[in-house]
Homo-oligomer: A and B are copies of this chain.
Amino acid sequence: MKVGPERADAARNREAILTAAAELFDRADVETVSMNEIAEAAGVGKGTLFRRFSDRGSLIEAVLTRRAAALLRQEQGPPPLGPGGEPAEALHAYLDGLLDFVWANRSLIRALEQSGPNVFYANPASRHWIAELTRRLAAARPGEDADYLAHILYTAVRADAVDYLYTARGMSLDRIRAGLHALATPAATVPPVAATVPVPVPVAVAVAVAPAVTTAVVPRGG
């Protein structure tokens, strides 16, 4: 397993592939985008495509990981999204960040969800987010089953679920957000819940689709 420097053409092709894949996946209906198309759009051969990304799933994961980087960076920034601050607020800010991320990347995430059993829950980014949710829930709602609740909250922001609620059921993103926050609010302190949008919606993350950016993919001599 060579981890060393990548040849210039290889790095260039990796970029081309990731960019082309991201664009095609965003266009629509990820299921219908074939590896052939991606290779062609990226201007590389199929062999090259599969040399960089061993299979379909790992390509999708790579595209998504890059998108997730923005969110992960913010997690290490200042509160409320970053560590520290009041537990309940930290939890709600986190949920907002997650929902915004999912919303911005929903078609891609749907692709990931479809790409194999359990990859949605089992992939590293998800595990990180669930763990973080669990931590914040445990802080905000001691005495409850934080682990279970974290999984449910994370399930509640699954791309296909959110997409279905929005597209097929006509729920606004704000309504979904409000519901999510209500779900996360400790039973003890929950107000009557005004069924509208009482939540602050603070940080909002704004990962958006992002123009890919590269920022030194091959650090090499790190």
Contact = CB atoms under 8 A, between A and B. Distances in A.
A187 interface: yes
A129 interface: no
Output the residue of A31, A155, A171 with the most chain B CB within 10 A: A155
Contact of A29 (B117, B151, B183): B117
Interface string A147-159: 1110110011010
Interface residues of A, number: 41
A24 B163 CA distance: 31
A150 B141 CA distance: 23
A145 interface: yes
Given A121-B164, A164-B118, A190-B187, A169 B147 contact: yes
A122 interface: yes
Nearest to A144: B193
Contacts of A114: 114, 117
29 contacts: A31-B116, A31-B117, A110-B117, A114-B117, A118-B160, A118-B163, A118-B164, A118-B168, A122-B168, A144-B182, A145-B175, A145-B178, A145-B182, A145-B193, A145-B195, A147-B169, A147-B171, A148-B165, A148-B175, A149-B179, A151-B161, A151-B165, A152-B152, A155-B156, A155-B158, A155-B161, A185-B187, A187-B187, A187-B190
Interface of A: 29, 31, 110, 114, 116-118, 120-122, 143-145, 147-149, 151-152, 155-156, 158, 160-161, 163-165, 168-169, 171, 175-176, 178-179, 182-183, 185, 187, 190, 192-193, 195
